Each structure stands twice: as C-alpha cells, then as structure tokens.
Amino acid sequence: TPSRWLVRSVRKERTGPNPTTYVLVLTTTSRSLKSDLRYGDAKQWQPAHMNDDARRDGTGNRHFRTEFRISDTLNRTMQRYKLQLSHLTKRKLEIEADIASQKAILDANGVGMNEPLIDNEGFPRSDIDVYKVRHARHRIICLLNDHKTLMKDIEHALHAFHANLPRNGGSPSSPAHEGPPNDAAVDVVMPTRTFAVVKDVEIGSPADVAGLRTGDGLLKFGSVNADNFHGVDEIASVVRHSVGKPIYVVAFRGASSVPMVLTPTQWAGKGLLGCSIHPA
C-alpha cells in the first residue's frame, strides 16, 4: 500500500569494495502497516529495521520509520545483459543485410539456391554469371550457419535476462519499441498463454532464420500477447511498423518457451515473414 507510506529521503551508501546501496527511508502513521509493507524481490530489496520510537508530528500522529536498501549489483547485471543483447541484435541485422545482398545477386540472375549452373550439354550456363551465383550461394550458406549460431546466443542471453528480472514489484518500465532489450527494459513477467499458431514457415524466410517453426504457438509478438490479442490484424500492424526492425518474439514449442528476434524484411518469397499466423 504505497499510498499510505511517505518517502522521506533517498541516499546512497558505499563501503569499501562493496557495491553502492540505495537507501529509501519511508514513514507511516499506522503501526499496523509495518507488517503490510511489500518490498518486492528478495534479490532486489532488503528490509531494514522499523523504528517504533517514532516522533509525533504537529497533529499528534506518530510516525513509524523503516528503511529499504537496494544494491546496484542487480542493476549492473541487467545493464550487462542489455548491452550483450544489443551487440548480438546488431550483428544479427548485419548478417541479415548481407544475406539480402547475396540474394539480390541470385535474383538478378533469375536463379535461387538449387537451380543447375550448367546446361544440358554440361557447359556453364551462358545466361547467368556462374561465378557470381556460385559465390553468392556459398556466402548465403555460410551466413545462414552464422545466423543460426547467433540466434542460439540471443536465445541464451534472453533467457539469462529474464531469469534476472525482478518479480512481484520493483518492475522495470515497459519497452519503448517492439524489439529486444537494449536501452529500454522489457516486460517483467514472461507470458504463459498462447494466442496464435505459426504455420507454413518457408525455408530461408525471415521467420525461418529467426527460429520460428511450423506449429509453434505464440506467447508474445512484439507488444501483442494473450491479454491484448483480438485478431491477427494486430500482428500484421506490428509487422508493417517494424520492417527492417527487430521484433521480440516468444514462441511456445513442446513444453518450453523459446525467445527469439524476428526482423520483417523483403525476401525472395511472399510477404515480410515467410509464414502464416492464425488465432490459437
């Protein structure tokens, strides 16, 4: 019941090599509120003593005093994960841009990844630049392997980030964009209910390279979750406003949640994702 507590002061303490501790001093006129104070995650807050010898104010009300201490160790840990995720996401976008540029070479030659490079007589095709096509195909394969490894790193970093988020109070602010955490905090509670199902994921599509699989349930798609989902038009809106920008997605596969970063982009196939999404 924060409205019945009065914040008296906030100060910083630092002792030797220990991390900085922020001390929040609260007072209340109700003795019964001493046992009602909610102080959030034990990782974040530690209650100090309550002073029963409180002074009386001008109206004769007694003020009971307590202190809460929050170490910036957790804060620095979260910042480290945010920085790591920011670097990983930047690298992901660089790889995807490189893949797109190599695919443009294939498109210019009117071929994909599997068409033959020799004619019926066994000679190199004269209607395409065989060297450029062969090099682009090899480069795309290498980049897709790099992307797959990077997505695993992002998944592990996201799991670690969420594992260290405060629960039941002291929550970070909501994200300011659809992407993964970098300079902004993310939702405090991982979503637990699916609201849509992914179908028809095409190989090499943005959905595929992000890690989505046919049959995945969706727990979160940018700002959309089970609590505010009313139809696939909302997902389409997120996609339209996020072309070339990362969207933080949490899929449900098997019995576990799978966080990933999906970037809607123009590619060789249809749409910006290369999959279809249907209400659960």
Could you report the per-residue pLDDT of 118-177, keeping only the tens digit for each? Answer: 999 889 999 999 999 999 999 999 988 888 888 888 877 777 776 665 544 443 333 333
Instruction: Determine how many CB atoms are found less than 10 A away from the CB of residue 178.
Output: 20
**What is the predicted pLDDT for the residue at 176?**
33
Q: Which of 49, 74, 99 is the last residue of a domain?
A: 74
- The domain in which residue 26 lies consists of 2-74
- Among residues of the chain, what percentage have pLDDT more than 70? 61
Answer yes or no: is 14 within a domain. yes
Average pLDDT (105-126) is 90
Q: Which residue has the tokens 């909501």?
A: 174
Answer yes or no: is 150 within a domain. no
Query: Which residues share a beta bridge with 84?
Result: none
Q: Tell the burial category of 49 from Cβ atoms under 10 Å away from its Cβ (0-12, 13-18, 19+).
A: exposed
Q: How confident is the model at residue 7 (pLDDT cuts 50, 70, 90)?
A: low
Q: Which of 35, 51, 74 is the last residue of a domain?
A: 74
Provide the 3-class DSSP secondary structure of residue 67. Answer: strand
pLDDT tens for each residue of 71-92: 555 566 667 777 788 788 888 8
Q: Does position 38 have pLDDT exceeding 60, yes or no? A: no
Query: Which residues share a beta bridge with 68?
Result: 24, 47
* pTM of the full structure: 0.44
Answer yes or no: is 220 within a domain. yes
Q: Tell the burial category of 239 from Cβ atoms under 10 Å away from its Cβ (0-12, 13-18, 19+).
A: buried
- Chain centroid to CA 142: how far? 26
C-alpha 217/C-alpha 62 separation (Å) is 55
What integer best gives the mean pLDDT of the chain? 72
**What is the predicted pLDDT for the residue at 153?**
85
**What is the predicted pLDDT for the residue at 109?**
92
Q: How confident is the model at residue 9 (pLDDT cuts 50, 70, 90)?
A: low
Query: Which residues share a beta bridge with 198?
Result: 277
Answer yes or no: is 176 within a domain. no
Q: Which of 74, 107, 128 is the last residue of a domain?
A: 74
The total of structural domains in the chain comes to: 2
Answer yes or no: is 105 within a domain. no
**What is the predicted pLDDT for the residue at 229?**
92
Answer yes or no: is 145 within a domain. no
pLDDT tens for each residue of 231-269: 999 999 999 998 988 888 888 988 778 888 888 988 888
CA–CA distances in Å: residue 198 to residues 12, 75, 209, 249, 250:
49, 35, 14, 12, 12
Per DSSP, helices labelled H in the chain are 72-108, 130-163, 206-210, 232-240
Extract the tokens encoding 248.
């933080």
Answer yes or no: is 39 within a domain. yes
Task: Confirm if 36 and 1 have CB atoms less than 8 A apart.
Answer: yes
Which CATH number goes with the domain that contains 229?
A: 2.30.42.10
Answer yes or no: is 40 within a domain. yes
